Each structure stands twice: as structure tokens, then as C-alpha cells.
Amino acid sequence: MVSGMGYRKVVGFFLIAIFATTVLARNAYAVDLAPLDGVAPPPGVKGASIALGYRSFDEAYVAGVKQPTEVSLRARTAALRVGTYVPVGRLPGYFYADFPYVELDGNDGVGDVALAGAVWPYANKESGTYFGIAGYLVLPTGDYDVENTLGLNRNPSGNRAVGALQTGLNQRLYNRFNLQVAVDVAVFEDNDEYFGSSLQIGTFEQRSLVSWQAALSYQWSRAFATGVSYFNNSGGEVRTHGGPWSGEVQNERVGLWVRAALSPRMTVALNYKQAIDIQNGLSEADNIQFRIARYF
């Protein structure tokens, strides 16, 4: 018979096994925008960028209560993004593809390819008003080994397709301020090759995840801008091996953003985010991304 302390450790291990799998997936597949991403690009532009990211998780929460089980999870990513202006009739549009490489606590490999397309039904450069609609598709093309899902899932790939639909509004305020708001919903395919806390391969399922976000930026000059952001997730309950649904997301995060133009066609950006309220899942202690982009 398991002692009281032993029982709590078993339960804690089970929760972290689930959360380590799902929190990384939730954050990766929620459509996380940077300030000014909602501005339609100029006609004919093409772009390529390299993004380097680092994320760390150090605490687990259940129903808003911090769990005693120790957590230490680190993720590093490098992603190549290539995109091009694609008009949709007379409307501005943009399409891009992300090709990531992921290192998750010593297990590294190719991540899942992500495709995105956006169209702006309304784009007014003079007033700085842009209303856009975007679709996202993550394909299970990365490295995946079911053995790496025993306990904590440390696979570069999610081994499932993910789709998301987003709509957003960008509005220039006064001369230099810019407000951006967006909402999206993500849906997930099942992963039929998953261990988790079980010794038998089963199915990992996740319900739809709803996210909304807002960002306020300030253009100090034509070459330099800063911003702050707020992000909120809800939904996304999970289950494995046909068990009960659990772990509803009700999480909040804030961020700081800096972008500088090195030339008329090259920019660098730094984004730092941190969780401020976690109801279920792993608390994101640090989320840092550096991106350098070149436009043609």
C-alpha cells in the first residue's frame, strides 16, 4: 500500500508528466503575436528571419495551487521563417512557413513545420487601421519517438496536427502609439503514440484552446520601437488513455518587446515574457526570443 507521502509523490509525478507535455504544446500552438504584427505588409515584400528562443519552467500548479513536486524543464529553439506577400483578390495577404529545430532538456531534433496565411479585409495605412484574419497549420513532420514520452515528454515534435484561426485589429493611436488586439482558437489532432505516466501506449487528446491578447507599442523613431503585451489562455483540457478530462487552462502572461531597424530592410527584435497567473500547468519562469529579419 502506498504511504500518504508516497501517494502525493505519485500524483505529483502524474500531473507533471501531463503538464510537461501539454504546457509546451499549448504555448507553442497558441498564436502568439508580437506588437505591430497586425500591420499589413507592403505589396510585393518577401522576408526571411531566424528566431532563437529559450523557455524555462520551474513550478507546477493545479487549480491555482503550487505543487510540492520539483520541476526543472528547459527548451531551446531555433527557427527559420520564410514568407512572401500574396494578394487575395484586391486584399493584402501574407504567407509564411516556419522550420524549427528544438532542444528539450538534452533531447534535440527537427520540430514540426508550421504554415500560416493572413489576409486583411480592411487596411488603411493613413489611419493606421488594420483588420486581419489568419489561419495556422502545424504539421507533425518533426522528430518523434514514443519512448521519449515515458514520464516527461521530451520530443521535438508533437506527433499531431494543430490548426488555429485568428482575427485581430491593429489601430494607431495619436502619432506614435499603436494598439493591437487579437483572439484565436486552436484545435488539436489526437496523438495515438503516447505513454505519459502509463506503461502502455495510448492516446493523448486535447480540447480546443482559446487565446486572446493585447499589445501597446510606442514608435520612438522610424528605427526603434518598444511595447508591452498581455496574453490569456483558456480551455485546452487534456486526457490520456481514455481517462477523465483535466487541466483546464486559465493562464495569464505579460511581455516586453523591443525592435530596432539596422537598415531599411533589416530588423532585430527581442521579446521577453513571463507568467503572472497559473491555474493549471507549468509556470513559465522565462520566455525569451530574439529574431533577426531581412526583407526583400
Q: What is the pLDDT of residue 81?
A: 98
Residue with cell 504544446: 25
C-alpha separations of 266 from 93, 98, 222, 262 in Å? 21, 19, 13, 5
C-alpha separations of 190 from 162, 194, 291 in Å? 9, 10, 31
Distance CA 277, CA 91 (A): 39
pLDDT higher than 70, residue 26: no
Question: Mean of the per-residue pLDDT values for the chain?
Answer: 88
Q: What is the pLDDT of residue 226?
A: 98
Distance CA 210, CA 250 (A): 10
Q: What is the mean predicted confidence (pLDDT) over 118-129? A: 96
**Residue 159, domain CATH:** 2.40.128.130
The confidence band for 30, taking pLDDT boundaries of 50, 70 and 90, is low
Distance CA 91, CA 60 (A): 45
Q: What is the mean predicted confidence (pLDDT) over 279-290? A: 86
Question: What is the count of structural domains for the chain?
Answer: 1
Q: What is the pLDDT of residue 29?
A: 54
Residue range 176-198, pLDDT digits in tens: 999 999 999 999 999 999 998 88
Q: What is the mean predicted confidence (pLDDT) over 143-164? A: 91
> Which is more confidently placed, 219 or 285?
219
Lowest mean pLDDT across 23-27, 121-125, 232-236: 23-27
Q: What is the pLDDT of residue 134?
A: 97
Q: What is the pLDDT of residue 9?
A: 44
* Structural domain harbouring 148: 4-295
Q: What is the mean predicted confidence (pLDDT) over 118-134? A: 96
The confidence band for 103, taking pLDDT boundaries of 50, 70 and 90, is very high
The confidence band for 25, taking pLDDT boundaries of 50, 70 and 90, is very low
**Residue 159: which residues within 8 A CB-CB, separation 6 or more?**
140, 144, 191, 193, 194
The confidence band for 24, taking pLDDT boundaries of 50, 70 and 90, is low
The confidence band for 96, taking pLDDT boundaries of 50, 70 and 90, is very high
Residue range 214-234, pLDDT digits in tens: 999 999 999 999 999 999 999
Residue range 32-71, pLDDT digits in tens: 899 999 999 999 999 999 999 999 988 888 888 888 877 7
Q: What is the pLDDT of residue 10?
A: 42
Q: What is the mean predicted confidence (pLDDT) over 130-141? A: 97
How is residue 68 written as a grid cell? Answer: 510540492
pLDDT higher than 80, residue 80: yes
Residue with cell 493611436: 173
